[in-house]
Structure 1
Amino acid sequence: MTDFEPIEQFCRDLLLRTAAPERARLMRAIGREIRKSQSDRIAAQRDPEGAAFAPRRPKPDRGRKKGKLRQQKMFRKLRMAKSLKAGGNGDEIWVGFGGRASQIASIHQAGLSDAPAPGQPKVRYARRVLLGLTEPERQRILDLILAQAAPR
């Protein structure tokens, strides 16, 4: 049992008593908030537990100059709003990737193997957890729900 469990149960009961349009609006707002925090964390190159992502694996040096891509942060485009989607309705909130970004993210999230480009041999990618809730994010969600219930 976590410290948040009694509060989470209270919030579940509170949400069930909230009118459907108001609940849907709250769920969408929470989804946007989570999407932004996930995007910020991916930009900081951290997993939900706060550990740094595994670095890019070194490429064999064949007398070439060091490429700029290797010097940049990973997942620059995955954290953009067009790839990292969020939404919700009265019953659920979801945050995830769409299209090709979802394939890339799932490979890294689970540490699977994939060919970097068509025709190339498969490479095993390091496990880099992109999506997951941290304790501050859970606290923020509870704060948003409780703020919704507060008298105005």
Structure 2
Amino acid sequence: MANDLDALEDWAGVLLSKLEPAARSKLARSLAQKLRRSQQQRVKQQRNPDGSAYAARKPRDLKGKKGRIKRQAKMFQKIPRASHLKAKGDGNSITVGFTGRVARIARVHQYGLKDRAEANAPEVVYEQREVLGFLKLDLELIRDEVLSALSI
């Protein structure tokens, strides 16, 4: 995937240098929003960029709480919202990422790090769940948008 991204960057860099700065910024903002939308949909579907499902949650011993909570609730229900998942684009770069406390939670799951669920809880090693990542469709989207911007 990194090779595909590097090849796309080399190819698009030459073409984008021919655009005016205002047109390049407009294209970058548009691409950032479309990539954010793609990431939001993938996280809602509970899928890694390679198409595999996220690792299941660990079972919890919930004594005294039977029937009061949802079983098998989906993970990451709120983090794909636009208030947490920010998209920025300027003439030189595109950034899609999380902000605030959610960024820390996403980083722990993205790389499978250790963290505490609550303040005094024991440290737990979380399964790796790639919250952000490129799909082949994302690379095709970028290519198509760059070509359409150059044809105008």
TM-score normalised by L of structure 2: 0.91
Instruction: Measure how far apart 1:59 and its partner are.
Output: 0.7
1:51 to 1:17, Cα distance in 2 relative to 1, 3 A: same
Q: Unpaired segments of 5 or more residues in structure 1?
A: none
1:3 to 1:131, Cα distance in 2 relative to 1, 3 A: closer
In structure 2, the partner of 1:48 is: 49
Structure 2 SS opposite 1:68: coil
Q: Confirm or deny: 8 A CA contact 2:29 2:94 kept in the other structure.
A: yes
Give the whole-Å Cα distance in 2 for the aligned partners of 1:6 and 1:118: 44
In structure 1, the partner of 2:139 is: 138
1:113 to 1:70, Cα distance in 2 relative to 1, 3 A: farther
Q: Confirm or deny: 8 A CA contact 1:114 1:122 kept in the other structure.
A: yes
In structure 2, the partner of 1:100 is: 101
Instruction: Measure how far apart 1:112 and its partner are.
Output: 0.8
In structure 2, the partner of 1:84 is: 85
Q: Unpaired segments of 5 or more residues in structure 2?
A: none
- Cα-to-partner distance string for 1:4-62 (whole Å, 9 max, x where unaligned): 87665342211011100110010010000000000000000000000000011001243
In structure 1, the partner of 2:31 is: 30
1:104 to 1:23, Cα distance in 2 relative to 1, 3 A: same
Q: Confirm or deny: 8 A CA contact 1:47 1:129 kept in the other structure.
A: yes
Q: Percent identity?
A: 36
Q: Confirm or deny: 8 A CA contact 1:37 1:137 kept in the other structure.
A: yes
TM-score normalised by L of structure 1: 0.91
- Cα-to-partner distance string for 1:67-105 (whole Å, 9 max, x where unaligned): 535432110111000001101100000000000000000
Give the whole-Å Cα distance in 2 for the aligned partners of 1:71 and 1:2: 37
Q: List 4+ stretches of structure 1 deviating above 3 A.
A: 1-10, 66-70
1:143 to 1:101, Cα distance in 2 relative to 1, 3 A: same
Listed as ranges, the matches of 1:63-78 within 5 Å are 63-66=64-67, 68-78=69-79
CA-atom RMSD, angstroms? 2.0
Letter matched to residue 73 of structure 1: K
In structure 2, the partner of 1:117 is: 118
1:4 to 1:133, Cα distance in 2 relative to 1, 3 A: closer
